Amino acid sequence: MSTMEIDQVRPERHDIAPDGDLILLYKKHANRPVELRVSTTILKSQSIYFKGLSGRWLETLPVRPDGLPEMAFDRLDPDAMLIIMKAAHLKFQGIPDELNVKLLHKIAKYVHMFDMFPAVCTLARPWIQYVRMFVDQCNSTELAGYLLGIMWVFNLKEQFKKATRSIIVDCNAVDIDLSRTLIDQSMFDELLAIRHEVMRDMSSLIQSKLIAPLKQGEKNGKAICHRECDHHIRIHMQVLMEAPPNKETKPSRIVEGLRFLSDDRKFYHNSSRDPLEGSRKPLCIGRLNEVISQLDKMLEKVEGFDLADWRPEASQEVVWGDDVEPELRLDWPYDQKFNFDSDYELSPRSSASPPPGKGRNE
């Protein structure tokens, strides 16, 4: 679309404040510019950003033919800003009760950027509680990033801690993109570093308690259980532990694999009726269960991140007014509900440039 054609597109107009003294123009979509007529008095009362604009900023804006000053934005999403501005002006008609993850994340990000949480706090609780996700709007890594961003802005401390722990222990994704959130990407790098450390400790335990004794027994001709069973366990463990460190390599997967192996050995010994074993419990089952128990205790000690460490703006603390914070309806780990390796053809990512990151205090 040429510049002339863009200029000729009639903007979508919303007179949120019919007597307002400012036009907000959103030009993110060339074929759908959106104008919002708002009141600067209300904006200053609802937004620290607008209140902090010094001096005669309104007079410095370009004036339209209708005599109203205009403030233009090239990258902000008009649908998200329409909801925020309606909420700020107490015009709730047409504001949806439920939002999908992608739109709620945009609203959360803009609320933080313009410091307008008081304007949306009443509406935000049901949004968070009834958040929905559509597969044609978010791919898996985007979904995780959006949800972490929502938790970050709305100060969902318990869920943030649970979510970051789950990324370490349970989630398949190893490339969650935080660039479109207000969270510094280094947080995810730290999560992966902890995951690698946990995997290293688990591998060391399995090596010393299972693989090394099996190899030593085979070398000395003395089986731990019996030769065929030892060989089966050793091959299974080699396949499990030597898998490439891709998105499928997660600590909980190792424990799941060992439990599967233990069940397999129980079935084998119960069905084979090996006369050498008699009524004794097979040694392999006891050893596997011991290792599984130690690995479970190791994973129980893994903790997620405290939100306060990654949300340094203490002056912008979000207080919900009671002791119970809203809860996102999507439970972690999200890969149990949504396939992180989906073959669906998903919509392309937004071309909007990422917002400035907010890093952890050193």
Q: Does residue 241 lie in a domain region?
A: yes
User: What would the two tokens of residue 305 be?
Assistant: 């991140």
pLDDT tens digits, one per residue of 75-112: 999 999 999 999 999 999 999 988 989 999 999 999 99
Q: Domain of 196?
A: 188-300
- Among the ranges given (54-63, 108-117, 163-172), the one the predictor scored with the smallest mean pLDDT: 54-63
pLDDT tens digits, one per residue of 302-312: 999 999 888 87
Chain length of the chain: 362
Q: Does residue 115 lie in a domain region?
A: no
According to the model, what pLDDT value does residue 348 have?
Answer: 28
**pLDDT of 335 over the 70 cut:** no
Give me the number of domains the chain comprises: 1
**pLDDT of 349 over the 60 cut:** no
Higher per-residue pLDDT: 148 or 330: 148
Sheet holding 34-38, edge to edge: 12-15, 34-38, 22-26, 70-73
Mean pLDDT of 116-122: 88
- Contact call for residues 141 and 95 (beta carbons, < 8 A): no
Kindly state the DSSP code that residue 315 receives in the 8-state scheme.
G
Q: Does residue 348 lie in a domain region?
A: no
In the chain, % helix, strand, coil (3-state, to 5) comes to 50, 5, 40
According to the model, what pLDDT value does residue 180 have?
Answer: 83
Query: How far apart are the C-alpha atoms of 21 and 19, rounded to whole Å?
Result: 7
According to the model, what pLDDT value does residue 356 have?
Answer: 34
**pLDDT of 36 over the 80 cut:** yes
Q: Does residue 286 lie in a domain region?
A: yes
According to the model, what pLDDT value does residue 248 have?
Answer: 52
Q: Does residue 131 lie in a domain region?
A: no
- Contact call for residues 172 and 192 (beta carbons, < 8 A): no
Mean pLDDT of 111-136: 86
Higher per-residue pLDDT: 231 or 202: 202
Q: Does residue 250 lie in a domain region?
A: yes
Q: Which residues pair with 26 in a beta bridge?
A: 34, 73
User: What would the two tokens of residue 276 be?
Assistant: 């050498």
pLDDT tens digits, one per residue of 279-316: 566 778 888 999 999 999 999 999 999 998 888 765 56
Higher per-residue pLDDT: 212 or 337: 212
**pLDDT of 347 over the 60 cut:** no
Query: How far apart are the C-alpha atoms of 187 and 205, rounded to whole Å?
Result: 27
Residue 343 CB partners (closer than 8 Å, separation 6+): none
**pLDDT of 137 over the 70 cut:** no
User: What would the two tokens of residue 32 be?
Assistant: 């759908």
Q: Does residue 239 lie in a domain region?
A: yes
The kind and range of the H/E element at 199 are: helix 186-206
SS3 100: strand
**pLDDT of 64 over the 90 cut:** yes
The mean pLDDT of the chain is: 81
Q: Does residue 193 lie in a domain region?
A: yes
Residue 346 CB partners (closer than 8 Å, separation 6+): 135, 136, 138, 139
Higher per-residue pLDDT: 360 or 229: 229
Strand boundaries in the chain, DSSP class E: 12-15, 22-26, 34-38, 70-73
